[in-house]
Amino acid sequence: MQSDHGAGPAPGSAAPAAPSARNGVRAANWAAVIIAYIVLFIVVVALGTHVIKDRAEH
């Protein structure tokens, strides 16, 4: 019962025997988060400049 509950929500915490693998997963997660934030920032800036140009024309 205990292992079933532990494997569900947090698969990373279920493998304490391989810290290097966990660090790799953590680094990959950080890279994905950073890339997502950069893409989001670019999209927001592009939309913002588009809206500003749109309002400037009208």
Here the tokens at position 28 are: 């990959």
pLDDT tens readout for residues 1-58: 555 554 555 555 555 555 676 777 888 899 999 999 999 999 999 999 998 888 888 7
CA-based radius of gyration for the chain:
21
Tell me what pLDDT residue 33 has: 96
Looking at residue 3, its amino acid is S
Cα(55)–Cα(58) distance, rounded to whole angstroms? 5
> Is the overall model pTM greater than 0.75, yes or no?
no
Here the tokens at position 55 are: 């309002």
Tell me what pLDDT residue 35 has: 97
Tell me what pLDDT residue 41 has: 98
Tell me what pLDDT residue 49 has: 93
For tokens 């493998």, name the residue. 15
Tell me what pLDDT residue 10 has: 54
